[in-house]
Each structure stands twice: as C-alpha cells, then as structure tokens.
Amino acid sequence: MAYFTINAVQLKGIAAAVPKNEVSNFDLKWLEAGELQKLISTIGIENRRVADKATCASDLCIAAAEKLINDLNWNKSDIEVIFFVTQTPDYYLPGTSLHVQARLGVSKSCVCFDINQGCAGYVYGLSLISSFMSASKLKKGLLLVGDTITKLISPNDKSLVPIFSDCGTATAFSYDENASAFHFNISSEGQDYSAIIVPDGGARNPNGIHKNLTMKGLDVFNFSIKKVVPNVSDLLNAASLKTGAIDYFIFHQANQLILESISKKLNLSETKVPSSLKNFGNTSGATIPLTILTNLKNKIKNKTLVLSGFGVGLSLASAIVKCENTVCSDLIEV
C-alpha cells in the first residue's frame, strides 16, 4: 500500500466544461428496443457529450480554467503551477501543458507538467500537484484533467460507443499551512496494462493499423470490483477513519453496475455515492470532478470526501480530501 499524507495545500475550486453536442444512447441503431433498454439500465448511461473534430481536451480544460479563475477572482500572474492530465494530448510533442500556459496567459515563470493518466488520473494528479506545491511552497496552482476520448473509439465499436464521453476540468489549489491534510493510497497493476489500450500509433508500433481504443471488459470489471474496495478500506484504516466520517464517496464513473457493486461491498447508502453517468457517461479522468460539480455544487462546504479513480494502467488511486470553502463553478458548454 502506497499510503501518504500531504499537508499545507487547500482545494480552492472546481470547474468543468463539456461539448455542446449531446448524443442519446436511445438513438443507437444496432440494438432492438428491448436490448437497448437493458444495456442502458446496466451501464446507467442515457446521454453522452461528444466533441467535434476541432475540439481537443486542452480546449475544454482551458474553458473550465478561465471560468474558475474568474469565479475565484484570481490574478493569472499569481498562478505558478499547471499540471495537465490527459490521454488525448494535442500533439505527440510538445507537452500540452506548455501551450495551455501560453493560451491562458499565465506567467512564463509557471511550472508546467504533463501526465499520461486516465481513469485514476484525477487522484494521481491531485497527489502530484499537492505534493509539489507543499514541497515548493508555490502559492497557486491548477490541475487540468480531461480527455476527448471519443476520438479514440471506432464508431463501429458497439461495446465502447455507448459508454464514453468528452470533458475537461480545472481544479484550483493554494498553499496554506493551516489546510487540512490530504490522504492518499495509490497502487498499480501494470501487468494488466493491455486491458485498456490503444495498441498502435505510439513509438512501439508507430505504423500499426489498430489506433482505436480497445478494452477487455470482463478483465476491467473484475479488477474494479476486486481491487477498489480494499484500496479504499486501506486508505480509511491508515487515516484512522470509518466510513461514517466521510460525507460523500465519489468514484470514477465507469458504469452503473461497477458503481453499485463497489457501493454495496462498502455498505454505502445511495445518498453518499453521487453519479453523473446518466447524463454524461464515462468521461475518463474527468469523471470525479464532473460528478462533484453536477451533484454536490452547493453541498461540499466543510465536507470530507473520498475520491477513488481506477482503470487504465491498470491503476488505482484513492484520496481523502476536506473541502473547506471550495468554490464549484457552473458547468459550461463549449
């Protein structure tokens, strides 16, 4: 168990942007009405957001960041750190965080990092930016997490099309020696890296023809229901907390069946486990902040949250976060 605690960093705000283009799973053509209804009830997804060809994850994250910066009344020149987490970067190189810094108009002294992470990416990113800011004492930072994952999915893939959506998010942090500690538990199952993969197009297989996302659904399901609960339980034990001390558990929104299975094993009531699946689907690394924003916008002040991401890698990351005066911006469409 990779359990650790980060001090002196406060979560100041969350914003999210989704594409305007909304697609209904009820309009899928390859299933009969009865089969379609069964699929939708199992995965819990009725509507998805799909970016157009010109829109990248950076565009969505920048829109979210602009909104959040405005709502926090921050001066852009004070932002000293940007971490950008995505599986769909604008370019093979350079890193997306660098031109995000320029497009946002943030100071050239800003430290920029890119992180290739997916379903666990929000918690991974949270651990990294808080660690960096705690150690460096840099005052203000932005964690940008988003994907236009639909660009990696074949329109003919009947198993993946109904699940995935696009989204970009921004989360703001400030250095504060009096802030409540963040607690983390992170683990990796790298031997199963091929369970969710784009096989070709990278340096190992640059000329291959399999450049769409593939997923071994049963393997991912088994991983999720077997590994997430111990990961969260170990985190709570290490932090000397019971489930009753947690106000909300925000899990990665993989699908409804996985969400219900994890909640049942942890003996959590529905009121403690919000979901954004119905209207937004699985937005990869962005699901956790998007779920907070769309379900708990006015409910997280002075609340303690467990955040748990799991998937691509295969990777697991859980965190305990105290929200004090965290600002939640209105969801925006791009």
Residue with tokens 């939640």: 328
pLDDT for 23 equals 97
Q: Parse the chain into domains and list their residue ranges.
A: 1-334
Confidence (pTM) = 0.96
Secondary structure of residue 70 in the 3-state scheme: helix
What would the CATH number be for the domain defined by 1-334?
A: 3.40.47.10
Cβ neighbour number for residue 135 with a 10 Å cutoff: 10
Whether the CA torsion 11, 147, 280, 122 is positive or negative: it is negative
The span from the CA of 215 to the CA of 220, in Å, is 8
Helix axes 256-265, 217-238, angle to 10 degrees: 30
**pLDDT attached to residue 208:** 86
CA distance 327 to 311: 28
| Predicted pLDDT at 1 | 65
Whether the CB-CB separation of 4 and 187 falls below 8 Å is answered with no
pLDDT one-digit tens code per residue, 130-169: 999 999 999 999 999 999 999 999 998 999 999 999 999 9
pLDDT average per 10 residues of sequence, the chain (334 residues): 93 98 92 85 96 97 98 97 98 94 95 96 98 98 98 93 97 97 96 94 89 93 95 96 96 96 96 97 98 95 96 96 95 97
Whether 281 and 48 have beta carbons less than 8 Å apart is answered as yes
Q: How far apart (Å, rounded) are the C-alpha atoms in residues 322 and 275?
A: 20
Closest CA to 61 of 104, 105, 22: 104
